Every structure is written in structure tokens, then in C-alpha cells.
């Protein structure tokens, strides 16, 4: 879903570069603002799921470590 959205919207601003440089000859200030909003939208669209994936992976690793530790020691959950 993210990939499709990115593919379909990557050229919606025409030839304006993705990070909206200040030295680009925009036709108006509104166009530059729209460009910045679009860039922020796409960046957040990818950053949020990446953070969620990282957190879930870390939780699974920690759970596996705790389970492995508890399997080798008696009463590991009750110190």
C-alpha cells in the first residue's frame, strides 16, 4: 500500500525536486509550501511504519531472550 501510494504520487509536483530547495524557481510561495507538505507526508508515511516494525522486532527479541533465560534457570520469574 505504501509503495503504491509513493509510486502514484512521486511526480505530482512535476519537476520540482523532492526536498523542495529554496533556490528552485517556484511560481508562487504556495507551491513551495505544498511541496514541503508533500515531502513531509511521504517521509512520515515511511518513518512511522519503520518505527513500529523496529519496536515490534525489539519486543520479540526481548521476549525470546527472557524465554530462553527462563528455560535454563529455575524460578527465573520469581527472584
**36 domain-assigned:** yes
Rounded Cα distance between 14 and 35, Å, is 10
Question: What's the pTM value of the predicted model, to 2 decimals?
Answer: 0.70
Sort 52 into a burial class: Cβ within 10 Å, 0-12 / 13-18 / 19+: exposed
**53 domain-assigned:** yes
**38 domain-assigned:** yes
Structural domain boundaries enclosing 44: 27-68
Question: Domain total for the chain?
Answer: 1
Give me the pLDDT at residue 68, please. 79
Rounded Cα distance between 24 and 33, Å, is 13
**64 domain-assigned:** yes
Tens of pLDDT, residues 31-75: 999 999 999 999 999 999 999 999 999 999 999 888 877 776 665
Rounded Cα distance between 70 and 57, Å, is 20
- Say yes or no to pLDDT of 13 above 70: yes
Amino acid at each position: 500500500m505504501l509503495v503504491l501510494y509513493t509510486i502514484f504520487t512521486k511526480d505530482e509536483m512535476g519537476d520540482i525536486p523532492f526536498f523542495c530547495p529554496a533556490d528552485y524557481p517556484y511560481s508562487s510561495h504556495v507551491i513551495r509550501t505544498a511541496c514541503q507538505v508533500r515531502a513531509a507526508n511521504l517521509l512520515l508515511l515511511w518513518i512511522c511504519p519503520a518505527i513500529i516494525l523496529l519496536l515490534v522486532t525489539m519486543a520479540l527479541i526481548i521476549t525470546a531472550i527472557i524465554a530462553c533465560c527462563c528455560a535454563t534457570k529455575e524460578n527465573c520469574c520469581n527472584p
